[in-house]
Structure 1
Amino acid sequence: MTLTPCRWTLDDYHQMIAAGILADRHVELLDGVIVEMSPEGIPHSYFSDRLANDLRTALVGRAQVREAKPITLPDASEPEPDIAIVEPLDDVYLDHHPYPENVFLLIEYADSSLTKDLEIKSKIYARAGIEDYWVVDLKNQRLIVFRSPDLGEYQQRNTLTSGTISPLMFSNITLQVARLMKR
């Protein structure tokens, strides 16, 4: 006998949230599956918060920095990336979370979630056409940069341990790779 998982739609997921069914759970919707999110360790919290603050300062008036907030994707996914750089649409986000066309950059900090971020989320983000996706691998002290989505896969994957990097949409901003994960 083969078991077939029940896939949830975005509408199903939103109804569960509104009804309070998921109130005590830290979850996200990935490809129609409700997935538990790993708790954040101290380094994860510290470095993602520091980067978000750096980006807010650098992007003031040009983009909005959202931390651990949902984005709505067309394939029954509503992940909560650690950092999302999105269009500053103010009260439009009262009606819906950012859509792929509103996203400039997504950043995930990974410790225990590395496999999910590199294998599952990278495919979901590529299918949605997210042009710039970064995974900060805290265990191995490296930044993995995904770019050029095509046919549900990123065509470029680069690993950096030092040097500088700029977001695709904000090439005038230069970030030290080491600062993303080191003191």
Structure 2
Amino acid sequence: MTEASIAYRWTRDEFLRAWEAGAFDHRVELIEGEVWSVVIGDWHGFTTGTLIGLLPCKGFRVTTATLPTAGSLPDPDCWVLHAEAEPVDTIGTKVSVWAPSDVALVVEVSDETVMQDLGVKAKMYGRAGYAVYWVVTKEVIYEHTEPTPDGFRARREYRAGEQIPVRHADSTLAVEDILSVR
């Protein structure tokens, strides 16, 4: 007879207590009750830094802070917040909660985690009501718009030679300027 395994689902409070106590020996995030390792590397870090430098921020702030989303605590690679926004709540001693209407763009730079970023995280960010979500890979940038309770209604791919709209700034960026990092 085999026994069914029982997967443990973390609550946001349990995860924060463990994180604040130093229980994790590497960077992690809480996604829908599961603790996920955050995968980083040279391409990932350089691409994130390049993107942060390219994003227009007049009237906005670009951050790499944790972005509480429902019961999850994802660590997007960067995200854009209205400059005048104030937290609507705090979690633990260090994490601010923001109104979805104050979050203009959420970005995941994705190499090894592309399936999770296009699947689970796209649904999570869409349900949260964030206006625009980008998944940046080495070949393409996926732009998700029109959030719904099931994720996002629209997804478009942008490749080198194209311009991706930066909707919060009413401008565009050349895709190759983001993807050309080596």
Contact in 2 for aligned 1:30/1:78 (Cα 8 Å): yes
What is the 5 A alignment of 1:79-118? 79-88=74-83, 92=87, 96-118=96-118
TM-score by length of 1: 0.85
Rounded to whole Å, the distance in 1 between the matches of 2:84 and 2:98 is 9
Rounded to whole Å, the distance in 2 between the matches of 1:85 and 1:152 is 22
Indicate the structure with greater strand content.
2
- CA separation of 1:99/1:6 partners in 2, compared to 1, >3 Å: closer, same or farther? farther
- Partner SS for 2:15: helix
Rounded to whole Å, the distance in 2 between the matches of 1:145 and 1:110 is 13
Which structure 2 residue ranges, 5 or more long, are not aligned? none
Amino acid at match of 1:28: E
- RMSD of equivalent CA atoms: 2.0
Contact in 1 for aligned 2:86/2:98 (Cα 8 Å): no
TM-score by length of 2: 0.85
Match of 1:144 in 2: 142
Cα deviation digits, residues 64-110 of structure 1 (max 9, x gap): 1112x210111x11111111111235885866244534311011111
- Partner SS for 2:134: strand
**1:163 lines up with 2:159 in the alignment:** no
Contact in 1 for aligned 2:29/2:35 (Cα 8 Å): yes
Aligned pairs, number: 173
Indicate the structure with greater helix content.
1
Rounded to whole Å, the distance in 1 between the matches of 2:137 and 2:152 is 18
Identity across the alignment (%): 25
